[in-house]
Amino acid sequence: MRDLQGKKVVVVGGTSGIGLATAIEAADLGAEVWAVGRSAENIEKAKSVAGEGIHFAQLDVHNLEDFDQLFKDTGKFDHLVSAATGADRTMKPFMEQTAEQFSEAFNKFWGYTNVVRQGVPHIKPHGSITLVSGTPARKCNAGMSSVSCVGNAVEGLGRALALELAPIRVNVVAPGVISTGMFDWMGEKKDEILEGMTKQIPLGRAGQPWEVANAILFFMTTSYATGTCVDVDGGQLLP
């Protein structure tokens, strides 16, 4: 049974999309949750839809001093999730990107390393860390080289840390095309465009944030899983 009664959960990138869905689901299972995000606007929006049991905090994953206050407030906790993008990603062919644009995508990865490095001293024994990657790590379209490389780095980090940090468990969840605010720039055509992007995959639709959150909660509550990656992609990785 999935039960987080009496547990403390920290979700970095927890004020929108997959992170917010994870925070809400974890609170529904009885956890005391800290949902952390960089944007004050997203925090206010998240507060309007979140229930009880969720604390909100503003944090930039590239500012180490922010972590000091966060973990002073949380005290020791059980589960850490890193879902924050923390980077501007350029979607264009490798040879059309500048070195700076390509490097910028890796700010997501460096943010993840900061979350883990600062968070581990505060995780209780036999707790867990879950990182969020994405299907482009193993199957990407042209123009997504930097995103693919970052995803591979995140998944490699998860496997390496599972060895180094045991008995703390470290896992990765790799979402496919998920209908989140990341696609809001599409405006009124968002649903139509996402339908076109996903009509060829086996499940024929975009995923929802709560469907990815379920996989993250699986890793929190499954005490014999570490060093692995679960794909939540509607079958996108199939040939």
* Average pLDDT value for residue range 113-142: 96
- Distance between CA atoms of residues 171 and 189, nearest Å: 35
- Distance between CA atoms of residues 104 and 205, nearest Å: 30
Bridge partners (DSSP) listed for residue 131: 82, 172
- Distance between CA atoms of residues 140 and 25, nearest Å: 30
Question: How does pLDDT run across 226-235, given as a tens digit for each residue?
Answer: 999 999 999 9
Residue 91 tokens read as 């979607």
- Domain chopping of the chain, boundaries: 8-232
* Assigned architecture for domain 8-232: 3-Layer(aba) Sandwich (3.40)
Overall pTM surpassing 0.85 (yes/no): yes
Question: How does pLDDT run across 59-86, given as a tens digit for each residue?
Answer: 999 999 999 999 999 999 999 999 988 7
Q: Which residue has the higher pLDDT, 125 or 87?
A: 125
- Length of the chain (residues): 239
- Distance between CA atoms of residues 215 and 50, nearest Å: 20
* Average pLDDT value for residue range 49-59: 91
Q: Around 44, how many Cα atoms within 13 Å sit in the side-chain half-sphere?
A: 3
H or E element, residue 195: helix 190-198
